[in-house]
Amino acid sequence: MTSTREERPRRNPLLGAYIGGGFGLFFLAIGFNRPSIANMRTVDLVHLLATGACLGVALVATILYFVGRHKG
């Protein structure tokens, strides 16, 4: 079954905000239990980057949701 982009139902961008924000806050809570910056290992830096990425996805999805409401 083929369909054009206009025929497909749009996903709500807030779903991405909830998922990304949830994971981001979860990873941030885990990060608070890690050692200080002076004792950081490579895995801690990867964890920090993943936390920022999840929170960034949540922020972008929230902005897209509110911008889309005004134009839509």
Q: Which runs of consecutive H residues, i.e. helices, occur in 1-72?
A: 13-31, 42-71
2 has a pLDDT exceeding 70: no
72 has a pLDDT exceeding 60: no
Does the pTM of the predicted model rise above 0.75? no
Domain boundaries, the chain: 13-71
Q: What whole-number distance in Å separates Cα of residue 55 and Cα of residue 49?
A: 10
- The 10 Å CB-count burial string (b at 16+, else e) for 18-44 is eebbebbeebeeeeeeeeeeeeeeeee
pLDDT tens digit string along 4-52? 766 666 667 677 788 888 888 888 888 788 777 667 788 888 888 888 8
Q: What whole-number distance in Å separates Cα of residue 69 and Cα of residue 63?
A: 10
